[in-house]
Structure 1
Amino acid sequence: MSGSAHPSIGMVAGEPSGDLLAAMLVRELKHRAPTLPLQGIGGPKMLAQGFDAWYPMQKLAVNGYADVLRHLPELLNIRRTLRERWLAERPSVFVGVDAPDFNFALEGALKRGGIPTVHFIGPSLWAWRGERIHTIRESVSHMLVVFPFEQKIYQNAGVPVTYVGHPLAGVIPRVPDRALARRRLRIAPEHRVLALMPGSRAGEVRHLAPRFLQAAKLLQQKDPSLRIWAPMANAERQAQFEACAAEVGGLRHLHCLIGGSHDVLAACDTVLVASGTATLEAALFKRPMVISYALPKVSWWIMRRKAYLPWVGLPNILCNEAIVPELLQDAATPRALADAAWTALTDEAHARRIETRFTELHDELIRDTSALAAKVILELANHAD
């Protein structure tokens, strides 16, 4: 491997969705180049595939500008340490998995130092902060995108790009087995099931969990037998969510668990979900949903000023229509969330339309993502098979 003093692949993933996506890539890279070390920042799914994590992924899981400011000294120190170590050790290639605000600066320094850089999953330039394309052109040797329309954006900007499909489309069954998922979770066929997914970051759970739980309480006034399931990213989020549930009080049939989001999505009738990758997972499971998000007021004001599209949820953006409701910031009241979720729970015609459109979306996104991404990475590392 010419130019590499320390044949290896550096990698940084910054949150649970990135951990899931990167773990598939780590598995494929290990299969194609089993002796090549993969090192950097990753989560438990990456570690399970043999990734060497120098820092835990949770160090990067911050939410909104206010959260970033609170953690900025530590984040800058971690990034500086990684930059200096990799510039000294000179890995064969660096792969940034999502976490663009952290990874682009790191990628820029490494690329200027002669280390090829790959970014896996382009940021939402088509939704907000399109000016980042200039940073990307300077920082990224090759961009891997997961939505087909993104290719043209990077080609027009002179950034090498490959459409690899979305890896979740290859993991989630085209026809989910709801009966099997309900048996696993011991949910009777006759019960309605509401999934609550208020996010994987502390700030997201802090802002959304109280609203979601209060909405669920209102829904149980309409259907006392309603089952509520809340899959959490880790033990910290579970403890945070359960403390919030205790404060709200009065909820019945509430089950909070670590992991298990795919079983919950397969089993449920509808989802109250934070905007993000989880909305795409819910769409691939063909589930009706209500998308929500809330931030500190300053962060929200900044983000809304930079937004380009009428939607924030991936299902609406990818379908190019308001196929599922979005209730954001001040509009995300418990009553509004409950009313929208009740419609999603009870409108069978809407559920059938959702299933049809999301099946079409699934077919559009499925590719051999890990193989396509690994091929690009190993070619840049001069380690092609």
Structure 2
Amino acid sequence: MRIFISTGEVSGDLQGSLLITALKRQAAAAGLDLEIVALGGEKMASVGATLIGNTSEIGSVGIWESLPYVLPTLQMQRRAIAYLKQNSPDLVILIDYMGPNLAIGNYIRRNLSHLRVVYYIAPQEWVWSLNSRNTNMVVGITDKLLAIFPEEARYFQQRGAKVTWVGHPLVDRVQNFPSREDARAKLGIAEDVISVALLPASRRQELKLLLPVMFQAAQVIQAKLPNVHFWIPLSLEIYRKPIEKAIQQYNLRASVVSDKTQEVIAAADLAITKSGTVNLELALLKVPQVVLYRLHPITAWIARSVLKGSIPFASPPNLVVMKPIVPEFLQEKATPENITEAALEILVNQECRNQILADYEEMRQCLGEVGVCDRAAKEILQMLPNFEH
């Protein structure tokens, strides 16, 4: 049986790899030979997917920021469509990656209507839908939608999609993270050291817009807390040089590490982080965090003009329960002063920490039980023709 998966960016590659691992395990148990072909990244390739294109570095947020990626994205779409025309798979799985995946799904519906399509981790239309166009398209191209949030499941179900809520895959992923003690021992962090994770980027634009403000805040925190040490895990190795250069420039006590993201996050007393999937990982590991995000000023202006304040929050932990669990600073509010103040408050005020941890518990209830990837894999395999289970 052949499954084609399409996803993009660092987070899509991670989610794809977790799903593939579960699919292969269940297929093997059922005596099914499974071939997986994909648009994705190294993580998916490492668990057995054959890549027809690497999309992990093609990613941006915003209209202005996406311009350099228009051509590479179109080339990937064409490559996927050419593959689907020549090698009809038994099933197509779309993971997030809205623009390209809606185009691929649309092509399938018009020209390869016999193909069945599963959307796993649908675009966040339930949070910030501007009009019904994209929502209708998601519903129209999808035979089954596997939702990761209860609210997302409700939203798409009300609009006519066939939906199953499976829970959030990070619930499974954090089961394999080391304990705080083990992580600190592995990184060699002494007991009296305050460990702060700095998580600036999985995209190039984020490095440019978020790193300076994050490092300026770190500089002030370091001056006030002499026993602090900063850890920066790399999402992509290509970011090492600019980050190491900035560490010297700001004179930070900081370590840059590859392939140790789990240890860095698990060992942290606090994270200063961009908005994204990592916010949920931190919440599930009970690490307090300060979240910031900046877009290009043109994108921010367009977003404000169009959305007119309709997005209450940006970070997933706050969005899940629609309340400010963690401090988040967007655009012009993402200043070194605001970040420093919020970070120091969490580090020195036990009451503030306890409140965040209590709110994390409430949020955790909305993410489902362990076994998410297996539930998703089971739903997917049951859609294969002639699958005996």
Which bin holds the TM-score, normalised by the shorter protein?
Answer: over 0.9
- Give the SS at the match of 2:157: helix
On the 8 A contact 2:128/2:310 being kept in 1, the answer is yes
Range with bigger deviation, 35-44 or 221-230: 35-44
| Pair 1:85 & 2:83 matched | yes
1:19 aligned to which of 13, 18, 24: 13
Residue in 2 that maps onto 1:41? 39
Kindly provide the CA deviation profile for residues 119-153 of structure 1, in whole angstroms up to 9, marking residues without a partner as x. Answer: 11122223212532112122222111111122111
Residue in 1 that maps onto 2:144? 142
The change in CA–CA distance for 1:332 and 1:179 in structure 2 (over 3 A counts) is same
| Pair 1:271 & 2:265 matched | no
Residue in 2 that maps onto 1:64? 62
On the 8 A contact 2:273/2:289 being kept in 1, the answer is yes
Distance in 2, matches of 1:185 and 1:308, equals: 42
Distance in 2, matches of 1:30 and 1:58, equals: 22
Distance in 2, matches of 1:94 and 1:244, equals: 42
Spell out the pairing of 1:100-249 with structure 2 (5 A cutoff): 100-112=98-110, 113-114=112-113, 115-131=115-131, 132-173=134-175, 177-246=179-248, 248-249=249-250
Identity of aligned residues (%): 30
CA-atom RMSD, angstroms?
A: 1.9
- Residue 360 of structure 1 deviates from its aligned partner by 3.6
- Unpaired runs of 5+ residues, structure 1, are 1-6
Paired positions, count: 377
- Give the SS at the match of 1:127: helix
Distance in 2, matches of 1:135 and 1:240, equals: 40
1:55 aligned to which of 53, 56, 64: 53
Give the ranges of 4+ consecutive aligned residues of structure 1 lying more than 3 Å apart after TM superposition. Answer: 173-176
Distance in 2, matches of 1:262 and 1:193, equals: 14
Distance in 1, matches of 2:176 and 2:88, equals: 42
Residue in 1 that maps onto 2:384? 381
- Residue 336 of structure 1 deviates from its aligned partner by 1.5
- Unpaired runs of 5+ residues, structure 2, are none
- Residue 266 of structure 1 deviates from its aligned partner by 1.4
Distance in 2, matches of 1:283 and 1:73, equals: 36
Range with bigger deviation, 272-281 or 363-372: 363-372
User: Structure 2 length as normaliser, TM-score?
Assistant: 0.92
- Give the SS at the match of 1:323: coil
Residue in 1 that maps onto 2:281? 281
User: Structure 1 length as normaliser, TM-score?
Assistant: 0.93
- Give the SS at the match of 2:125: coil
Distance in 2, matches of 1:151 and 1:63, equals: 24
The change in CA–CA distance for 1:383 and 1:182 in structure 2 (over 3 A counts) is farther
- Give the SS at the match of 1:312: coil
On the 8 A contact 2:143/2:162 being kept in 1, the answer is yes
Distance in 2, matches of 1:302 and 1:117, equals: 33
| Pair 1:372 & 2:375 matched | yes
Range with bigger deviation, 165-174 or 195-204: 165-174
Letter in 1 for 2:379: V
- Give the SS at the match of 2:244: helix
Letter in 1 for 2:108: L
On the 8 A contact 1:174/1:284 being kept in 2, the answer is no
Residue in 2 that maps onto 1:4? none
Residue in 2 that maps onto 1:3? none
On the 8 A contact 1:79/1:102 being kept in 2, the answer is yes
Letter in 2 for 1:270: L
- Residue 90 of structure 1 deviates from its aligned partner by 1.2
Spell out the pairing of 1:341-380 with structure 2 (5 A cutoff): 341-367=343-369, 368-380=371-383
Distance in 1, matches of 2:386 and 2:66, equals: 37
The change in CA–CA distance for 1:261 and 1:190 in structure 2 (over 3 A counts) is same
On the 8 A contact 1:210/1:245 being kept in 2, the answer is no
Distance in 1, matches of 2:52 and 2:60, equals: 18
Distance in 2, matches of 1:330 and 1:241, equals: 23
Distance in 1, matches of 2:292 and 2:330, equals: 5
